[in-house]
A and B are shown apart, each in its own frame.
Chain A
Amino acid sequence: MRLLKNFESYRHDFPALYQEVHGHDLIYFDNAATTLKPMVVINEVMNHYYADTSNVHRGVHTLSERATLKFEAARESVRTFIGAASLSEIVFTSGTTESINLLAHSFGDAFIASEDEIIITAMEHHSNIVPWQLLAQRKGAILKALPMNECGELAWDLLATMITSRTKLLSLTFVSNAIGTINPIKEIIALVRSVAGTKVKVVVDAAQAVAHLPLDVKDLDCDFLVFSGHKVFAATGVGVLYGKEALLESMPPYKGGGHMIRKVSLEKSSFADLPDKFEAGTPAIEGVISLGSALNYLQKIGIENIRTYEEELAAFAEAELSALPFIRVIGKASCKAAIHSFVIEGVHPHDIGTYLDQKGIAIRSGHHCAAPLMEFFGVVATARISFAFYNRLAEIKILRNELIKMWEFFHGQSLSRADLRAQ
């Protein structure tokens, strides 16, 4: 009860919640797409432009030094948040997509050869499919996909036979953005280690996990972990690549430019130490600072508390949705994050999205950039609701009632109480 009350009070930190959309109080259920920003984060971004505008790592003047301090403090916040051993292991990128592309280019070009195998899974976001396809095409490598069962859980025991002497890399998501499955990453990595030791490198896409689950890269024993800032209450345009130091050391630079060099002549350059080697050019400074601020804010609330509270939201949503006879939930994994995908017979997800928007409820509808997964479930698109800790049980009740009215609207008939109880 105390927990509930605390979470109610955190809503005050998010100014965007206090607005009306089409005459209704906003209910924001599209957190898997991006999260709202708390006032501390907004203030940090504003403060950077207001007082500290400058480039980092360049000037010797006071503004640049202030900005650099905050920028590097954010790196420390990330390191603590994910339990990395060293600051050298934290590379700032523009987001999850760039982090994976960096890996596909830098690690891929150096260590993936013709006939080598890369394994992804059937539930990946396009950003964890396409960069590996492009790499496989460049190198003549083989891309395999680990299948899942009809509940939307990975058949990860198959890895024991899928991994061969040519397998170099496994890249998989921690939490499915489309159907909410939480993959048992630690167990999966343990299996990979038992089958192939450290010869198969494991990339964890934590884009959908970072705002909801505790992350500990040492405990997971992943080789790389990637996520985006904007899905964890920070600005867009910033992301993280974590990599084990020795691996990042062994990889060539991805982009060339300023700040990533040691020495440059017109013939040849040598490169800076980690993590600078991978941070060419002026970064999204205010984005990085906002990320540090967002992670510090989350640390104060406690990611374990968030997990507990969101489990309550998810269980309630699951119960409310599955009590509606016209709803088919897509993805019924036994371990799920607060992401629910569903379809409704006779109402396309886009119409669900537009209808709910008119009631002030923001949801996502579409293929969620996971077309292979949609195909697996035999749907072209789904409606998706995804929570953050500022959502309330009462909002889920409103959603439920609006879904009933929506069904009646599109079908031109009323649902009786008996219809709703029949389930």
Chain B
Amino acid sequence: MDNLYQELILEHNKNPRNFGELKEGECLKQEGLNPLCGDRLIVSLKLSEDGEQIIEDVKIRSDGCAISRASASMMSEAIKGKTVKDAIAIFHEFHDLLLKKHDPSVCPHLGKLEVFSNIWKYPSRVKCAALPWHTLNEIMEQTSKPGQSTSE
């Protein structure tokens, strides 16, 4: 049990960081859905306008499970202040971690996120941890293509 629900995950579930929504019009927004379980979340992202694409602010609205909430909360901490490019790199590393393909000696950027390193043992829960990141990635993929925006 403690394997999956580690102290840090439980703590982030109880006190999630950066939860909420950024103001309409000042951010990029994306909804994430897991139709299998009905989990739904909204990631809003504010990028710097200086061409550096620094993630100045991020907020997540979620009423999902502990794994999904903790993953969203820790994601927000991991990417805030980073460039989109760096955040995409972390996304890929995290993705590999969930699929048990991660090698920390090669990809050293995960830090606290390694708390999810046991989740592959619970296949039905991998999607819970992945949903916030995939939702974030949808925004980032579109922003890295010039001239496009997901802003609603």
Give me the interface of A with B, judged by CB distance under 8 Å: 346-351, 354-355, 358, 365-367, 371, 374, 380-381, 409-412
Known pairs A380-B63, A410-B10, A412-B10; A350 contacts B125 (CB<8 A) = yes
Tell me if A351 and B38 are in contact (CB < 8 A): no
B40 neighbours in A (Cβ, 8 Å): 380
Partner of B37, one of A350, A355, A412: A350
CB distance from A410 to the nearest CB of B (A): 7
Q: Which of B32-78 contact A (CB under 8 A)?
A: 36-40, 63-69
In the assembled complex, 24 residue pairs joining A and B whose CB atoms fall closer than 8 Å, in A order, are A346-B14, A348-B63, A348-B64, A349-B65, A350-B37, A350-B65, A350-B67, A350-B125, A351-B66, A351-B67, A355-B1, A358-B1, A366-B37, A371-B38, A374-B38, A380-B38, A380-B63, A381-B37, A381-B38, A381-B39, A409-B1, A410-B5, A410-B13, A412-B10
CB distance from B35 to the nearest CB of A (A): 9
Considering only CB atoms, which chain B residue lies closest to A380 in the complex?
A: B38
Tally of B interface residues using CB under 8 Å = 22
A411 neighbours in B (Cβ, 8 Å): 14
A371 neighbours in B (Cβ, 8 Å): 38
CB distance from A50 to the nearest CB of B (A): 33
Q: Which of B1-17 contact A (CB under 8 A)?
A: 1, 4-5, 10, 13-14
CB distance from B69 to the nearest CB of A (A): 8
Considering only CB atoms, which chain A residue lies closest to B1 in the complex?
A: A358
B69 neighbours in A (Cβ, 8 Å): 348
A380 neighbours in B (Cβ, 8 Å): 38-40, 63
A410 neighbours in B (Cβ, 8 Å): 5, 10, 13, 66
Judge if B128 is at the interface, Cβ distance under 8 Å: yes
Known: A351-B67, A365-B37. 19 other contacts (CB 8 A): A347-B66, A348-B68, A349-B65, A350-B39, A350-B125, A351-B66, A354-B122, A354-B124, A355-B1, A358-B1, A366-B37, A367-B37, A367-B38, A371-B38, A380-B39, A380-B63, A381-B38, A410-B13, A411-B14
B4 neighbours in A (Cβ, 8 Å): 354
A347 neighbours in B (Cβ, 8 Å): 66
Tell me if A366 and B125 are in contact (CB < 8 A): no
> What is the bound-complex CA distance between A370 and B86, given in angstroms?
40
Considering only CB atoms, which chain A residue lies closest to B11 in the complex?
A: A412
Tell me if B5 and A409 are in contact (CB < 8 A): yes
> What is the bound-complex CA distance between A18 and B64, given in angstroms?
34
B63 neighbours in A (Cβ, 8 Å): 348, 380
CB distance from B128 to the nearest CB of A (A): 7
Considering only CB atoms, which chain B residue lies closest to A359 in the complex?
A: B1
CB distance from B34 to the nearest CB of A (A): 10
Partner of B14, one of A348, A355, A366, A412: A412
B38 neighbours in A (Cβ, 8 Å): 366-367, 371, 374, 380-381
Q: Which of B87-146 contact A (CB under 8 A)?
A: 122, 124-125, 128
Known pairs A366-B38, A371-B38; A348 contacts B65 (CB<8 A) = yes
B10 neighbours in A (Cβ, 8 Å): 410, 412
Considering only CB atoms, which chain A residue lies closest to B14 in the complex?
A: A412
A366 neighbours in B (Cβ, 8 Å): 36-38
CB distance from B143 to the nearest CB of A (A): 29
A409 neighbours in B (Cβ, 8 Å): 1, 5
B36 neighbours in A (Cβ, 8 Å): 366
Considering only CB atoms, which chain B residue lies closest to A349 in the complex?
A: B65
CB distance from A349 to the nearest CB of B (A): 8
Partner of B66, one of A348, A374, A381, A412: A348
A367 neighbours in B (Cβ, 8 Å): 37-38
B37 neighbours in A (Cβ, 8 Å): 350, 365-367, 381
CB distance from B5 to the nearest CB of A (A): 7
CB distance from B131 to the nearest CB of A (A): 12
- In the A-B complex, the 6 residue pairs with the closest CB atoms: A348-B65, A350-B65, A367-B38, A351-B66, A358-B1, A366-B37
> What is the bound-complex CA distance between A381 and B128, given in angstroms?
14
CB distance from A402 to the nearest CB of B (A): 11
B13 neighbours in A (Cβ, 8 Å): 410
> What is the bound-complex CA distance between A412 and B69, given in angstroms?
17
> What is the bound-complex CA distance between A346 and B68, given in angstroms?
13
A351 neighbours in B (Cβ, 8 Å): 5, 65-67
B14 neighbours in A (Cβ, 8 Å): 346, 411-412
CB distance from B118 to the nearest CB of A (A): 12
> What is the bound-complex CA distance between A410 and B10, given in angstroms?
7
CB distance from A300 to the nearest CB of B (A): 36
